[in-house]
Structure formats: C-alpha cells, structure tokens
Structure 1
Amino acid sequence: MKLRHYHHHLLLLLLCCSFTETIEPISTSIAVGVAAALTGFLARYQNIFHYFQECCRPEWISFNKTALQADLESKLFGQHVASRIILKAVNGFMTNDNPKKPLVLSLHGWTGTGKNFVSGLIADSVYKEGMDSRFVHVFTSELHFPHASQIDNYKSQLQQWIKGNVTNCERSMFIFDEMDKMHPGLIDSIKPYLDYYDKLDGVSYRKAIFIFLSNAGGDSIIQTALDFWKEGRNREEMELKDLETSLSLSVFNNKKSGLWHTSLIDKNLVDFFVPFLPLEYCHVVQCALSAMADRELEPDLKVADQVARDLVYFPKSERIFSVKGCKTIDSKLDYYT
C-alpha cells in the first residue's frame, strides 16, 4: 500500500474514533477494535508523520556542505575572506557530534555586502525549509527591542525565547539583525547560553547556532581595503588576520553598537568575527547578472554594466567601492529591464 493510502487510512480511523462517545453500548466492541487497529498502525508507522510536518529530526535538519560551498562560490561575490570562514566554521561545527559550545558568528560590514544573504545560505544548508524553518529565529533590534526603557523586560523575554526554542530543538538557529542598533547590554543577557556549559537548568545549548549581523566595524574593514588598494596590493591577498583584530576592537569600543563592551567579546565567546569587504564595480555587475538569472531573464551584460555604473562609489574621485553594495540592484533592474 502506498504512503498516501496509509495517510488516508489513518484519517478514516481518526474520524471513526471521534464518534465513539455517540455510539450505542452494543457497538463498544467495534470502537475497541478500531482503537486497537489505530494503536497498531501508529506503532508501526509512527515515523510517517515526520515526512509531513517539520520536526527536529535528520529528515528536516541535515547539513549539506556541498550545497553551502557551491552557493558561496556561485552566489556570493567579492567576499573571499567571509566565504572561507563561513564554510570552515559551519562545517566544523555541524560535523562535530559533541561541540563544547554553540557556534557564534558575528558578521560585519557595510550595507549590501551580503551579511543577510549569507545567513540565508547557512540556513538553507542546514534546514530543509531554509529560512522558513520553524527552528530558525530572526530578531531585529528596531522591531523586537525598540524601547530603551524596556530593556529589563527584553532581557527576560529573550532568555525565555531562547530557552524555550532550544528545549524544543537543540539544533535551533538564532539570527540577530541590526546589532549596531541594539541597546548596549541587552545581548549580554544570553551570555550563559553561549558559554562552555554542558547544561543549564537541564537544557544543553551546545548544538545551537547564533549569528549576529552588524554594520558596526564596517569603517575598519573599509580602511583596510583602502590601504590594500593604495598600496597596489591585490584584494584577494587580504586574509582574516589582516582584519580580525582591528574589527573586534572597533566593535567592542563602539558605544553605539549592541556589542559595546559586551562580555561575549571580553570572554571570547564569539568564535569568528567575519568581515564583509566593500564591493567593487565588477562585483556589482555580477550581482546584477545573478539577479537577472533569479528572475529567469536572459543575462544582459550591457544592462548589468549600466546598473553598476549608475550606483554611487567612493572615494569620489577614484570610484572604487560601492556605497550600498548590491542592496539596490533589484529595484534598479526594474528600471532598466
């Protein structure tokens, strides 16, 4: 019997059981028989439900390194440093059956450089439902934590949200967007969940993933990129060691950032500070061509070139880096196509 027939059979059994309270006493034996049949069916085919509704099981949560690597190589442009870090960090964490702490990534760079996009790629590689998975949770500072006067309430709510979701599924992912707009001190409320604890109140957080997205530190990254350009050095020569120290210090000392003087940095609980470099003209062209492909349009290099040329670049005289990265590409395509 095919799977859909099993499912149909189960629905019929459930329907029959719903009428057991209204049947005559003489029919009790029939109800008992139906119940017995249902019990046997559920015992034998209990895993069927895992294929119809997302749950915290390998059928729905299973890391695909090949897919993540392919996406990073073909869909993320101009971010050779970030790509290497993300692939190694996520792969190392997801293939470790006994991690000592959750994976904590802090993604930094100017707008339009790919931070949110990469978060989606990570989710796609881990969860069958990607960003639509009920085990992926996104917090936006201005939406979820708008009022400074309510910070104590936010701390309590945030702790309960994380505890409840990790209790429900240890492979939960939490994405905190706009960290540069978060009230300083708020994120420290989840510090215990990111630390090297086996369990807290009976809950293990060691298999969860936490991703922080922030524009803070972007100026530090841009300065390094400009220094490389002025020295005539190849962009691809840049390595994490050229960026990480100045980036972490910049974020830690930024009073307008949610990571200002945070214990997460002070106690070395952030596994990687991931720098996203400012994008150049050639990267914007790639973004435009990729956007056309996503819309199932014929790639048109002339249109992509026009879209890229019309963006604002800096420094003004040399026009090296795109001010908004690839953020406005979609809307620009609406105008040119």
Structure 2
Amino acid sequence: MDGSQPHTETPIASQKISLISSPMRAVIRLRRKVRVLKKSRLHLDLPREQSPELIQARFLQRQISLSRTNICNPQMSLFNQASFENSRYFTFDTSVDQLAVNKYRRKKRRKSKMVLYPDSSKKYLPTEQKSKAKRCLLLLIGIICFQILNAIENLDDNLQKYDIDGLEKTMYREVFGQKLAVERTMELLKDYLATHIHNKPLVISFNGPTGVGKSHVGRLLAKHFRSVMDNDFVLQYFVMHHCPDKEATPACQSDLSEKISDMVTRAEIEEKIPLFILDEVELMSLGLLETLSRFFQPNQTNEFLNAIYIIISNIGGSEITKFVLQNVSTDTLHQQRKIKELLGIIQPFLIHLHPLWKSADIIPFLLLEKSHVINCFLEEMMREGLYPDQSHIESLASQLSYYSTGDREYSITGCKQVVAKVNLL
C-alpha cells in the first residue's frame, strides 16, 4: 500500500500546478496587454474620458483581480476554468484601436502642406490626341473660302467688262448738281451688271423738271456702253423722232417690240446685257406704255430678264420743284432724308399715271443752283474752244431766270439754254 500512495499523489500535485500556472499565465498576458494599451494611449494623446483604450484597460485590470482571487481559491479556478479558456474573455477586439489610428492619420493628412515646385521647373501638360476630323473641317473651310473668292473675282470681271469705274468718273466729271442721282444710278448699275443671271430686268426712271441733266445722263450712258459693247446692243428711242404721229401708235408698238426682242435675243447669245434709253416718255401714247410694261414683267424668258431700261421724262417735275423750294438744305445727310420723303410723294403719282412705274427704280433730279449753271457754261465753252472768261460766264449765267429762296438761287430752266447762249458768242 505504501508503494502505491506516492503514485496516486503525483498526478494530483501536477494537476494543482497546472491549475495554478494557467491563471498566472493569463495574468502575465493581461499585464502586458495593459502596458501596451497605456503606451498607445500616451502615443495617441487622446482624452481619458473619451479613450476606448482606457475602458479596455480597466476591464483588463478587473480580469487580473479576478485571476488573483482564483489563484488564492483553487476550487473557484477549477469552476471558472472553462470560462477563462473561453475566447470571448481573452480575445480583444482591435477595431477600436484601428479606428483611432485611422482618425489620427486622417487629421495628420489634412494638416499636410502642399508640395510647391520651383518656378524654374518645367511643367508638362498631358498630351492631347489630335482628331482627324479637324483636317476635314479645315479642308472644307478652305474650299468654301476659295469658292467665295472665285465668285468675287467673277463679279469683278463682269464689272471690268463694262468698265463701270470709267463710267462713274465720267458721270461725276460731266454731271453738275446731281450727286445723289449719280450715286444711286451707279449703285443700281453695279449691282445689276455684276452677274448675268437675273430674275427681272433693271428699270430706272429719271424724273425731274426740264434742264436738270436727265437727258445728258442718258447720252453719257449710251456713249459709254457703245464704247464697251457693240452699237447693236444700245438703243436710244426718242418719242418725237421715232413716233411723232399718235395715230401711228400700232405701228410704233410693233416697231418698238420688234427692236427690243431682236436686240435682247442677240445679246443673250453673246452673254451681254443690252441698254434701252427711252427719252421723252411723257409724250408716249398709252399703247406704247402698255407695250413697254410687258417687257418689264418678271415672268418672261431668260433673255428678256437680262436688260436695262432707262426711262426719262418730265413727269413729276412740278412736284419736285415745289418740294425743293420748300425744303432747302446743304447737309448731304439731310438731303438723303428729303429724297426719301420726295420719293414717297412722286412714286404714288407715277403709279397712278401708269402701272409700269411699279417695277421701276425712281431717281428724282433736283433743281440746279446758279453755281451749277456757271459750271455748265464753263464746260460748254471749253468744248467749243472758246476762252472761258469768268466774268463773261457769270454775266451769261445772270441772264437766265431763277427761283429765289433765302440766300439760294435755283435755275428755272436749268442748263437747257446754255448751249443756245454759247452758240450766240
């Protein structure tokens, strides 16, 4: 029996040592954990009241105290062994620590300063990929610009064919006192002669009192276009010469219609625009006016649309004279406004007389001043080869009749009697 006793006591003693040693090991681990948590709390510098590590440390201290009591009371240690070995008492959740560390890192990152580069350093922008569509767009723009330039050159070529610049210089040099009328006439001719394709013929009506330069402008136009085109494409039609007898109106209608049709057809073949100057229209019969109005309509064949008609008459001369005498002005801008007012008076009067003036661009010729009459005398004397004595010219000009309004004198007959006066010298 004595030999069996020591054998039974040894396992009991080893079991007690193992029971005692396991709580001790737990205590050692808990103390180490507490130290680590304290160090991390000091490192993070968090407030004690809000520190989750402090709460964890207190919990661990409580576990240490429980472990010490278990060491003193082995039976309690045996009873609570299963609870000590349970992972929920000794497995510590580090999510709180991780959150604190992350929060500290975020704050630290926010406080980080921007990296500044020296001014001398080269900064390279990201390379942009060039689109192939840009080349096509540039090519299209180039083609359009070339076509526009070509069209402009073609317009200039047409105007050069008729020498419009030379005509303009001649008109300004030889027509006196009708600057606005000349400007409007040249503007209409330039726009129409710039191309050979039109949707209606150009009809210009010169209206004004006698002797103001309407027929003179018609002669200058006929002379110029005969020089740049054949004589076959310019027609000057004087009613007193071509149709003096009103009883022969049907024959005159047939003759005028045949001449216009023939000239227009030949001009279309050679791609030229014919010019028809119809003077003394106030003497035309109603039948001739009807014949003319048919050629002015837009609903015709191509060859009849490419033509220029100049209608010269004294119709509306009295209205123009009255308007000029009531509205005297030297300002060009003021004169242009007055011309618009004058057109508002003349155009309804002409349309009421005959509907052909609906399709016409009306250009009123104003009264000539005494200075303009003196220029007419000077020009005529130089043309006849006479010495242009200024005092002699002024004496000749004073022999004519004038309208007096304020400090201005307007010639009643314009330059109509200038040629007759010079021929008497």
TM-score (normalised: structure 2): 0.56
Q: Secondary structure in 2 aligned to 1:197?
A: coil
Does 2:212 align with 1:212?
no
How many Å apart are 1:198 and its aligned residue? 5.1
Q: Distance between the aligned counterparts of 2:281 and 2:410, measured in 1? A: 23
Does 2:384 align with 1:285?
no
How many Å apart are 1:225 and its aligned residue? 0.7
Stretches of structure 2 lacking an aligned partner (at least 5 in a row): 1-156
User: 1:295/1:150 Cα in 2 relative to 1: closer, same or farther (>3 Å)?
Assistant: closer
What corresponds to 1:166 in structure 2? 264
Amino acid at match of 1:324: T
Q: Distance between the aligned counterparts of 1:180 and 1:285, measured in 2? A: 29
Residue of structure 1 aligned with 2:282, choices 155, 170, 180: 180
Q: Distance between the aligned counterparts of 2:171 and 2:341, measured in 1? A: 21
Q: Distance between the aligned counterparts of 1:331 and 1:143, measured in 2? A: 21
Does 2:351 align with 1:252?
yes
Q: Distance between the aligned counterparts of 2:206 and 2:250, measured in 1? A: 26
How many Å apart are 1:235 and its aligned residue? 6.4
What corresponds to 2:359 in structure 1? 269
Higher relative contact order (CA 8 A, sep 6+): 1
Conserved? CA contact 2:163–2:228, under 8 Å: no
Does 2:412 align with 1:314?
no
Stretches of structure 1 lacking an aligned partner (at least 5 in a row): 1-57, 254-259
TM-score (normalised: structure 1): 0.70
Residue of structure 1 aligned with 2:297, choices 195, 206, 212: 195
Q: Distance between the aligned counterparts of 1:324 and 1:65, measured in 2? A: 30
Q: Secondary structure in 2 aligned to 1:289?
A: helix
Query: What pairs up with 1:64-213 in 2 under 5 angstroms?
Result: 64-128=163-227, 133-170=231-268, 171-197=273-299, 199=301, 204-213=303-312
User: 1:192/1:334 Cα in 2 relative to 1: closer, same or farther (>3 Å)?
Assistant: closer
Conserved? CA contact 1:220–1:250, under 8 Å: no
Conserved? CA contact 2:225–2:234, under 8 Å: no
Show CA shifts across 1:273-329 (max 9, x none). 111111111100111111122234443221221111111112599882212111121
Amino acid at match of 1:62: K
Q: Secondary structure in 1 aligned to 2:311?
A: strand
Aligned length: 261
Q: Which has the larger radius of gyration?
A: 2
Show CA shifts across 1:73-104 (max 9, x none). 22111112211111101111111231222211
How many Å apart are 1:150 and its aligned residue? 3.2
Show CA shifts across 1:7-43 (max 9, x none). xxxxxxxxxxxxxxxxxxxxxxxxxxxxxxxxxxxxx
Q: Distance between the aligned counterparts of 1:156 and 1:335, measured in 2? A: 42
* C-alpha RMSD over aligned residues: 2.6
Say which structure is richer in helix.
Answer: 2
Conserved? CA contact 1:225–1:235, under 8 Å: no
What corresponds to 1:327 in structure 2? 416
Amino acid at match of 1:169: A
